[in-house]
Structure 1
């Protein structure tokens, strides 16, 4: 078994352990491997709670569910390869709507992390909830006040408590609206800490994100998800990466044609802006490989 297969195997076992743990508690569990969004607020699913947002705001709904949700966030594109920032990742989620308390959520996660052999180095709590929530940990973990421990998606907000190991945030518990629970822990970060799995380098991170987007049913294009996929294919080519897929081969050919076109025309239009080049000729000047600059 090669290193890639080992990484998938250990991460897969961790997700399976979480599934089994949830089911043992009588909590419904779903595994979602597509990054297609559950609403139109994002191009890709960015959090496990996305599909449940209507339930947080529905006072008549009560219940608790859990999932592992494939997510994609492009905000960390320039930070990938440092071992802590990813594009694609799997979020282990727990969501309770007017049923589970903050204390019960804390117990749930400390118990599950304990089964993995992991004890947080410390947790953080917003100062406004320090007096109320500190006793819920019952002295099991050091607590640090943090005024940044508040979460909002623009509509729903709540105080939160965050879990840290080796200086890295591994997950948090949010208390939306004061009566719900929204928990998210990154499976890849847990896998790195628990199983010692080596972090992906930048090339592997790009390949993983591209593969997941394609597997979710998207094709390269000029808009929305298709544009993001094309951008990642272009970035992979620009940094010297390879991918055995027709979409990559087609994008390399496309980039070569655009470079040739730019070289042929740039001396005729020396003062044109990058926006003009893109709008008029479909050439993203800033993304051209060095040979075409």
Structure 2
């Protein structure tokens, strides 16, 4: 089952259970939102989780593209991506957690053919503010699915304040032995689906108050589930990365972690540009700039003659097509211009750092001077000094 079939199966299953499909937003949150990018499927729905009636009703389903800068340093392992798609469902004051978990279990096992014996779950065990999630625990016990109780690992929030609540996570065994241990003790259990019982709001003082309605918010990583269902050892080997895996190694021979980073960051940069972001020294534009510079640093480490001009247009058009974006040539031109800008910056940076003043250890004053006067970010200075 490829990702398009997986999306169709997921959406149709929930439509059959009374959910209305809503259109996913771009990576860019609405004006005034403090976050740089949409980080989860629930983010654009926050007003409705807080009680505003949604025009399509109380049961919703969608596919949302997301970007998480917090995972940048994790990219290269088998499960993390910078830009990814999240399959989501919502109950806005309608059904409760056990119903959501039961539908999720049935979709995985009956609709997608997952062996129930390869599943494990976790639930919230309670703390000094909120009691244990007994209803979720009971549901999993009735289904015969192993369940582990935790505290911090099963409390979901989108920040220090705002909507939050206990969650129950569904894990799939990926080891080459029969399932063993638990998700908190063996990382061969890979999380695929999180069901959040979003019932509370955390205030500035850390206290909790009830939300106007009891919601359920679920999120399932599309690429992660696709790789597991396709029997692939990492998200970088599911079908959405097929052209990248086919074309990039022949173009730029790289070790596996570097290949993953290059494919992820270039693909993510294409999507970010496709949603209207342009390189800049702050905000969303700086995230885009950082992605491209990390790619170029990896490519040039072994061969300075490598360049984004060699990148096959098929990879750009494939990615833009998957995310329903357009404009292959404008995207390619922007990538090449940013590469030229970075080459010029590196040349200037090497000359500046060759001065006697910067040959010894650098202090905070030096880093500030290099950034403010010469436009050299700290991470770039550190990289150049390691050459």
TM over 0.5: yes
Q: Secondary structure in 2 aligned to 1:230?
A: helix
Distance (whole Å) between structure 1 residues aligned to residue 148 and residue 227 of structure 2: 24
* Superposition pairs of residues 158-197 of structure 1, within 5 angstroms: 158-166=165-173, 167-177=189-199, 179-197=214-232
- Give structure 2 stretches of 5+ with no counterpart: 127-131, 174-188, 201-213, 237-259, 300-305, 312-331
Among 89, 96, 99, the alignment partner of 2:91 is 96
Among 32, 40, 51, the alignment partner of 1:47 is 40
Q: Secondary structure in 2 aligned to 1:158?
A: strand
Q: Which residue of 1 aligns with 2:72?
A: 77
Report the alpha carbon displacement of residue 181 of structure 1 after superposing the two structures with TM.
0.4
Q: Which residue of 2 aligns with 1:144?
A: 148
Distance (whole Å) between structure 1 residues aligned to residue 379 and residue 165 of structure 2: 40
Report the alpha carbon displacement of residue 43 of structure 1 after superposing the two structures with TM.
0.6
Distance (whole Å) between structure 1 residues aligned to residue 53 and residue 375 of structure 2: 51
Q: Is the 8 A contact 2:6 2:226 kept in 1?
A: yes
Q: Is the 8 A contact 1:163 1:169 kept in 2?
A: yes
Distance (whole Å) between structure 2 residues aligned to residue 218 and residue 66 of structure 1: 27
- Give structure 1 stretches of 5+ with no counterpart: 1-8
Distance (whole Å) between structure 1 residues aligned to residue 124 and residue 169 of structure 2: 9
Report the alpha carbon displacement of residue 215 of structure 1 after superposing the two structures with TM.
1.1
Pick closer, same or farther for the CA change 1:15–1:66 going to 2, 3 Å.
same
Q: Is the 8 A contact 2:25 2:44 kept in 1?
A: no
Report the alpha carbon displacement of residue 247 of structure 1 after superposing the two structures with TM.
2.3
TM-score normalized with structure 1 length? 0.89
Distance (whole Å) between structure 2 residues aligned to residue 181 and residue 215 of structure 1: 31
Report the alpha carbon displacement of residue 161 of structure 1 after superposing the two structures with TM.
0.6
Q: Is the 8 A contact 1:173 1:182 kept in 2?
A: yes
Among 119, 122, 128, the alignment partner of 2:120 is 122
Report the alpha carbon displacement of residue 268 of structure 1 after superposing the two structures with TM.
5.7
Show CA shifts across 1:154-190 (max 9, x none).
2111111111112111111111116210111111111
* Superposition pairs of residues 1-293 of structure 1, within 5 angstroms: 10-32=2-24, 34-38=26-30, 40-58=33-51, 63-114=58-109, 115-118=111-114, 119=116, 121-128=119-126, 129-137=132-140, 138-148=142-152, 149-153=154-158, 154-166=161-173, 167-177=189-199, 179-197=214-232, 198-200=234-236, 201-240=260-299, 243=308, 244=311, 245-266=332-353, 267=355, 269-270=357-358, 273-287=366-380, 290=384, 293=387
Pick closer, same or farther for the CA change 1:285–1:261 going to 2, 3 Å.
farther
Q: How many residues are treated as equivalent by the alignment?
A: 285
Q: Which has the higher contact order (CA 8 A, sep 6+)?
A: 1
Q: Which residue of 2 aligns with 1:6?
A: none
Report the alpha carbon displacement of residue 41 of structure 1 after superposing the two structures with TM.
2.7
Distance (whole Å) between structure 2 residues aligned to residue 133 and residue 82 of structure 1: 31
Report the alpha carbon displacement of residue 139 of structure 1 after superposing the two structures with TM.
2.9
Distance (whole Å) between structure 2 residues aligned to residue 199 and residue 133 of structure 1: 29
Q: Which runs of 4+ in 1 moved over 6 A?
A: 59-62
Distance (whole Å) between structure 2 residues aligned to residue 263 and residue 147 of structure 1: 49
